[in-house]
Amino acid sequence: MTRGRKANSIEIPKRSADVDTPASGTDFKRALRQIASPVAIVTAANGGDIGGLTATTFCSVSSDPPTFLVCLNKGSAVAGLIDASGQFAVNLLADEQHAIARSFSGPESGTAALFSKSGWSSLLSDAPVLDDAVACLDCDVESRVDAGSHNLYLGRVRAISTAERDVLLYRDGLFRRLQPAG
């Protein structure tokens, strides 16, 4: 520590009595349910096959170069298509597109038939992008990180489309709309 400068410290009490160790799966799920997340359909295409699933685990990683991360179950059809093609698209949904989020997380998710129910096109890659989505990010896979049941895909963003709409949110089992806090 530099002489004459005050230590940057303060006493923080431990709440050992409230803490479950090791962290249980139930506590983990309870904590995760409180996270309000935007909702996207992650899509991919390979050869004639296309697929998509509803996802809330994604975020931006770097602006230079523009890099985006998605986290997908290894067993999902889309993960297989991304592994095969090296490309994916992230379609950030508007609040009025909640029915699309339901379809792409239901029994029909991963099937091509779902893409005939709304307007889809493509940007640079063949991965489908949704008409009127809040934002569509067309990505090339930069790297894949193994993370237990899921893979993290880091994608270099190659093309973007945006629309001025309110984003769809998901929290505690429900799709929700943005509300001003004050």
Ligand X SMILES: Cc1cc2nc3c(=O)[nH]c(=O)nc-3n(C[C@H](O)[C@H](O)[C@H](O)COP(=O)(O)O)c2cc1C
* Single residue of 38, 49, 57, 165 touching ligand X by CB under 6 A: 57
DSSP string, 74-103: TTSHHHHHHHHHSEEEEEEPBGGGHHHHHH
The position carrying tokens 């270099």 is: 156
* Single residue of 76, 91, 103, 125 touching ligand X by CB under 6 A: 76
Q: Does 112 bind ligand X (CB under 6 A)?
A: no
User: Which helix (H) or strand (E) element contains residue 48?
Assistant: none
In angstroms, the CA 46 to CA 126 distance is: 8
Cross-strand bridge partners of residue 150: 73, 147
Binding segment for ligand X among 3-11, 15-23, 54-62, 129-137 (CB under 6 A)? 54-62
Binding segment for ligand X among 7-15, 20-28, 48-56, 132-140 (CB under 6 A)? 48-56
Q: Does 46 bind ligand X (CB under 6 A)?
A: no
Could you list the residues that contact ligand X (CB under 6 A)?
39, 53-57, 71-73, 75-78, 105, 109-110, 170
